[in-house]
A and B are shown apart, each in its own frame.
Chain A
Amino acid sequence: MSAVEPLISVRNLRIEFNTERGVVRAIDDVSFDILPGETLGVVGESGCGKSVTSLAILGLIPSPPGRIVSGSIRLQGRELVGLPEAEYRRVRGREISMIFQEPMTALNPVFTVGSQMVDVLVRHKQLTRKQARQVAIDMLAKVGIPSPEKRIDEYPHQLSGGMRQRVMIAMALSCGPKLLLADEPTTALDVTTQAQVMEEIVQLQEEFGTAVVLVTHDLGVVAETCQRAVVMYCGKVIEEADIETLFHHPKHPYTRGLMDSIPRIREQKKAELPTIPGTVPDLLHLPNGCRFVDRCFQAQERCCQAEPALERQADGSQVACFYPLEAGA
């Protein structure tokens, strides 16, 4: 691909969960790279494995019931799969950190914002509590929290949703991680707040040179903030491309269907939205061959027999389809 050494490289990752109904393969042979300083979008619908992928990078797959069956996740060449918990703890927070969809559940309600931020800094940066407090106040100011020296002594419930998410971002970036995993960071927020929060993330990313993985179902947010994106479907990466190519020349019929089925603000209204027929299949009962075959408008005999692998195209993108869509088709 490019000469740049990837920050994270995920190779042939397979993750399974034991459930009452059987073993579910949530992630099936997933490979992708995250480059230093880039913003990578991971898109897909519920259950496609996008959140599990980010939890795996953080070493947070609950086990049991989940386990990494095979594959590797390397952080600048260092293998993370199988890393002892004590060592993983030094990676989390310092090198990779994460922000979640619902900041209220990620913040501890019985401690002040400040004490939670200070704990992280004392642990990873070996600062005194006094120094850490100053760093925390500076970070809060950076994410656009007004009067941070007052806010730092408040409890999470005293803050609005947008403020809480900003606190999470400040906390996540306080140790200067190389990678920030953002799992639906603005889904619970209103559009005007979403715009503010996304702006903060982009600004801080430029300032610190942090790579960001943005896991989201919102294609609008991806189009505006990411340079590259992977599209997942039922535990597999089915397409990977730079944003321009992905939005203007999607090659997988699923990606194309997703792009078409989002309502857009347009001058001329369309009577009917294009749709993808059917629903996402149950991971326990995947169709034979390509897992999108039941819903694909151009499925052929071959698609029912074999599963297409992710293959690189002439323009540098990758797609897992026997019959990738042509430009302008």
Chain B
Amino acid sequence: MSEILLDVRNLKKHFPIKGGFFRRTVGWLKAVDGVSFQLRAGRTLGLVGESGCGKSTLGRAILRLHEPTAGQVILDGEDITALDHQALVAQRRNMQIIFQDPYASLSPRRTILQTLLEPLETHGIGDDASRRALIQELLDIVGLRPHVLHRYPHEFSGGQRQRIGIARALTLNPKFIVADEAVSALDVSVQSQVLNLIARLQREKHISFLFISHDLAVVQHISDDVGVMYLGQLVEMTSAENLYREPKHPYTQALLSAIPVPDPRKRAKRIVLEGDVPSPLNPPKGCHFHPRCPQAKDICRQAMPEQINLGSESDPHLIRCHLYT
């Protein structure tokens, strides 16, 4: 069993809601509210949930792209949340991000070469010759030809741009990459190519991924472990195998049953949830999921369940649900 690379402890990110005449803070949006989990080196944690559940905010709070409100993020033994600005910049070498829309995350005025050189220059890695050699190697890894270097982002297709985004994330040889909806904008035939690329990087370069996606089939395919989020909290997390074979949280069960199966002979038995995800501005009291939960009990309306581990230390099955306490 490999060592723990990332340890997230009770992480919170609350955004102030400004209102009234003096733009005073009138409330808090608890986008991430007390998330704890561990990720082992070389593994991929998939993070699923519906829009607004806080999965992207969690990814960004881990990298301190959003300053966390409370909690700790320990990456490779170092507490990211305690670093000063300079130390944080240095630590960013180890943690990178790939965004959903590579068109929005690549500068339209820079050639691919300039884009890929920038991180190396910022961190003062290598000389000009070795940088270029590294970039050539990266292009080869992500499956782009060398002549693309002097082109601009608009000259590429969505899949190619995403490969460039991945190459950029790889320039600093990070230990940990957050992939935020990295394949969601791609067509299926291209999506499968990019997924295979990510899986290969994980295997060969031993990079740990936090793979954020709303597509549960994609997440199951790419991940070793899967976490399910609902209104800012991790409601269930375990190995991908466990989760899809035996989902325990009623929300996970409903979410999994809602996926359309691409096989006309197998029609999923569906648990259709009532209503919509409530506003995170004003989450329901008690368990956030209770108004939509088919199995809600009295206690669910009153108290927020604690996160407990139903599995073992080495094979955890984290869950936040009163049915199991």
A interface residues (Cβ-Cβ under 8 A, vs B): 45-46, 146, 160-163, 190-196, 198-199, 217-224, 243-244, 247-248, 257-259, 261-265, 267, 269-276, 279-280
CB pair B192 A190 closer than 8 Å: no
B window 212-257: CB within 8 A of A: 214-218, 220-222, 240-241, 244-245, 254-256
Determine the residue in chain A with the shortest Cβ distance to B267.
Answer: A224
Q: Is the CB of B260 within 8 A of A262?
A: no
Please determine whether B187 and A217 come into contact, CB atoms closer than 8 angstroms.
yes
- Set of chain B residues within 8 Å of A264, measured between Cβ atoms: 217, 221, 261-263
Contact A262 B216, beta carbon cutoff 8 Å: no
Contact yes or no, A223 B261, CB < 8 A: yes
Q: How many pairs of residues, A versus B, come closer than 8 Å at their CB atoms?
A: 129
Tell which of A195, A221, A223, A275 touches B270, judged by Cβ atoms closer than 8 Å.
A195
Q: Would you give the shortest CB distance from A138 to chain B, in whole angstroms?
A: 21
Segment of B28-36, B70-78, B107-115, B271-279 in the binding face: B271-279
* Other-chain residue from A161, A224, A259, A273 in contact with B261 (beta carbon distance below 8 A): A224
* Set B50, B51, B159: member contacting A279, Cβ < 8 A: B159
Does the CB pair A191–B265 fall under 8 Å? Answer: no
Q: Which of A220, A248, A261, A269 contacts B259 (CB 8 A)?
A: A220
Q: Are B256 and A279 in contact, with the CB atoms below 8 A?
A: no
Q: Are A273 and B196 in contact (CB under 8 A)?
A: yes
Nearest CB on B from A257, distance (A): 6
Interface pair A263/B217, CB less than 8 Å apart: yes
List 3 A-B pairs, minimum CB-CB distance, nearest first. A220-B260, A263-B221, A261-B192
B side interface size, CB within 8 A: 46
Report B-chain residues with C-beta under 8 Å of the C-beta of A218.
Answer: 260
**Cα distance A74–B325 when bound, in Å?**
63
Q: Decide yes or no whether B17 CB sits under 8 A from chain A.
A: no
Task: Flag if A191 contacts B258 (CB, 8 Å).
Answer: yes
Expressed in whole angstroms, the Cα–Cα distance for A218 and B157 within the complex equals: 20
- From 281 to 312 in chain B, residues with beta carbon under 8 angstroms from any chain A beta carbon are none
| A190 with B195: CB separation less than 8 A | no
**B260 and A221 contacting across the interface, CB-CB below 8 Å:** yes
Task: Give the residue name and chain of the A residue nearest to B279 (CB).
Answer: A160
Q: Which of chain B's residues have a CB closer than 8 A to the CB of A196?
A: 272-273
Q: In the assembled complex, which residues on chain B have CB atoms less than 8 Å from the CB atom of A223?
A: 260-264
Q: Are B258 and A192 in contact (CB under 8 A)?
A: yes
A273 pairs with B264, CB closer than 8 A: no
Q: Does B129 contact A (CB under 8 A)?
A: no
Which residues of the partner chain A approach B90 to less than 8 Å between Cβ atoms?
Answer: none
One of A192, A243, A263, A273 near B255 (C-beta < 8 A): A192
**B192 and A191 within 8 A (CB):** no
For the A-B complex with A45-B187, A190-B214, A263-B217 known, give 5 more contacts whose Cβ atoms are closer than 8 Å. A224-B268, A247-B263, A248-B264, A259-B262, A265-B217
**B2 CB, nearest partner CB in chain A, Å:** 19
- Also in contact, A271 and B187, with CB within 8 A (given A191-B50, A223-B262, A262-B217): no
Check B256–A265 contact: CB distance below 8 A. Answer: yes
Shortest Cβ distance from residue A185 to the other chain B in the assembled complex, whole angstroms: 13
Q: Which residues of A contact B218 (CB under 8 A)?
A: 263
Chain B residues with CB under 8 Å of chain A are 50-51, 157, 159-160, 187-193, 195-196, 199, 214-218, 220-222, 240-241, 244-245, 254-256, 258-265, 267-268, 270, 272-273, 275-277
Are A191's CB and B259's CB within 8 A? yes
A224 pairs with B196, CB closer than 8 A: no
A263-B195, A264-B262, A265-B256 known; A192 vs B273 contact (CB < 8 Å): yes
Which among B245, B255, B261 has the greatest number of chain A C-beta atoms within 10 A? Answer: B261
- Which of B189, B264, B267 meets A257, CB within 8 Å? B189
Of the residues B50, B188, B263, B264, contact of A190 by C-beta under 8 Å: B50
Q: How far is the CB of B159 from the nearest CB of chain A, in Å? A: 6
A-side contacts of B196, CB under 8 Å:
272-273, 275
Query: Knowing A45-B188, A190-B51, A196-B272 touch, does A263 contact B220 (C-beta < 8 A)?
Result: yes
* A192-B50, A275-B193 known; A262-B188 Cβ under 8 A: yes
B267 and A191 within 8 A (CB): no
Write out the residue numbers on chain B whose beta carbons fall within 8 Å of the beta carbon of A194.
258, 260
B13 to chain A, nearest CB (A): 21
Q: Is A193 touching B259 in the complex (CB atoms < 8 A)? A: no
Closest residue of chain A to B48 (Cβ to Cβ) is: A191
In Å, the complex CA distance between A269 and B243 comes to: 13
When distances are taken between beta carbons in the complex, the residues of chain A under 8 Å from B259 are: 191, 220, 265
Asked whether A261 lies within 8 Å of B189 as measured between CB atoms, the reply is: yes
Contacts of A162 in B (CB 8 A): 276
With A190-B214, A279-B157 as known contacts, state yes or no: A261 contacts B191, CB within 8 Å: yes
Task: Check if A269 sits within 8 Å of B221, measured CB to CB.
Answer: yes
Between A and B, 28 residue pairs with Cβ closer than 8 Å are A45-B189, A46-B187, A190-B50, A191-B255, A196-B272, A218-B260, A219-B188, A220-B217, A220-B261, A222-B262, A244-B265, A257-B189, A259-B262, A261-B189, A262-B188, A263-B195, A263-B215, A263-B218, A264-B221, A265-B220, A265-B244, A265-B259, A265-B261, A269-B220, A269-B221, A275-B192, A279-B189, A280-B187
> How many Å from the CB of B179 to the closest CB on chain A?
14
CB-CB under 8 A from B215, the residues of chain A are: 263
Q: In the assembly, what is the distance between CA of A269 and CA of B244, in Å?
A: 11
Contact B258 A195 (CB under 8 A): yes
| Docked complex Cα distance between A325 and B147 (Å) | 37
Residues of A within 8 A of B277 (CB): 190
B157 contacts across to A, CB distance below 8 A: 279-280
Chain A residue nearest in CB terms to B185? A46
